[in-house]
Amino acid sequence: MTAVLARPRALVPTRADTPGWIRLLAGLTVLLTVITALVMAADARSTRHGIDVIGHHTAPTVTATEDLYFALADMDAQLANVLLAGDDSTLAAVRTTALTTFDQRRVQADADLQQAMTIVTNDDATQQIRELLDKFGQYQALAADTFQLADLDRGEAGRPSGRTLAAYRAATGMVPDLLSRAQRLADTNSGVLSQSYQDSERTTVAARARIAVLGLLVLAALLGLQVVLRVALRRRVNPALAVTTVLAAGLLLGGYIANATAAQQLTIAKRDAFDSLLALRQARALSYDANADESRFLLDPAHTAQYQQSYFDKSQRLAGVRAHGVDDYASALDQAIAAHAGDLKDAISADSFLGKELGNITFGGERQAAEQSLRQYQAYQRDDHTLRGLAGGDLRAAITLDTGGSNDHFAAYDKALVATIDINQQAFDTAIGKGGNALSGWSTWLPYTAAALCALLVLAGVRPRLAEYR
């Protein structure tokens, strides 16, 4: 029993055993350096993987599903526009454009569904996409019936035949469910992205903590080894160990900075860019759905109250102001913007989509683009107010405004939104690229090479000193 207990003590040199202390501290330094290199490389690989997942998997999935919502909403708006144009020869261009755009959005929605299926994040999302595909097919069939009946009955502008209107109601009646399913899918994927970001953020924090702890241990071992050599051998400086210390410190500092840089770029990508991208894409999708409500309001007199309320609710989600209903929304928006012309983020509610963007301005040109979006939205809302005033007495004039000047202002608003989206998308892509590049080399050769050099230098530094004891 005594012999067994004596073994561990043999690992620790006696106070007078200078060679033993040199070997112990040299071995400990090499071991700690190797462990540090392995840990740093593993952490760098994990962080790069997290950045890659966010930048090239989950973010594109969210984009595809938000784009799906937009495409579906505009399909139904164009279906309504075809019926608003009717068989009126003066609105033939409106009808042609609506049919062309409907087909473009149909192809776009199909591509979005296929992309979402290709890079699907979990089983729940897979099931949601399959259900959406089924519902989307049903909607297309009903829309095709509506187009066919409109061609056969040749109704006047804004007043389709009874059976055409019934077919349209069946088609547009599916849209809320379709959009709700698309939004749930987008929310699911957005949740996956947020979780991926939180996981990556925790990984980078833990990695920096490990670098700090292991770094202190490596430097302490090196310092202890140099103290032993100085005290025992009366040598002021061991050049090899001095270089090892500088190299180890450089390795640790470089790894820490690389990790911190990657974490910073990840924050820029998620909080500064992607949070704005999400709000802006949701705003764009909802704007097209609201625009469709405007056409539905003119097309289906039996459901005007329903479509007016739906339009108002969506307007408030886009840019919330103190308004009681659709009749005073445009004037309330005008007053809010006039009262806060110096800082438009205070003009609308912070939890509305455009408010979220105005409260998260980060990049060059972003403020100007975001404010331009709000001002173009303001012009579109003024048209809507005029349009509703015309609808009761002059339907033809209301349709002309809806498919003409109002659509032009909506297109200008959409263009400003897309410009703001592009600024944030470019910033997101740049941050993801910089985050990955910051760790380039740290996940493979760089820490291993530095550890090998440190080991060789330690050996070169202590071997001549140990030879003096032979």
Q: Is 282 or 237 the better-scoring residue by pLDDT?
A: 282
Examine the pLDDT at 65 and tell me if it is beyond 60. yes
pTM score above 0.95: no
Phi then psi for residue 343, to 5 deg, are -150, 95
Q: Which has the closest alpha carbon to 291: 382, 397, 405, 407?
A: 407
pLDDT of amino acid 172: 94
pLDDT in tens, 130-178: 888 899 999 999 999 999 999 999 888 889 999 999 999 999 999 999 8
pLDDT band at 3 (very low <50, low <70, confident <90, very high): very low
Neighbouring-strand partners of residue 159 = 156
Residue 156 β-bridge partners: 159
Give pLDDT, residue 361: 95
H-assigned helices in 300-404: 304-318, 326-339, 353-358, 366-391, 395-403
What does pLDDT average to over the chain?
Answer: 88
- CA distance linking residue 69 with residue 48, whole number of Å: 31
What is the predicted pLDDT for the residue at 299?
A: 92
Residue 108 has pLDDT above 60, yes or no: yes
pLDDT of 8 > 60? The answer is no
Q: Which two tokens stand for residue 67?
A: 């784009």
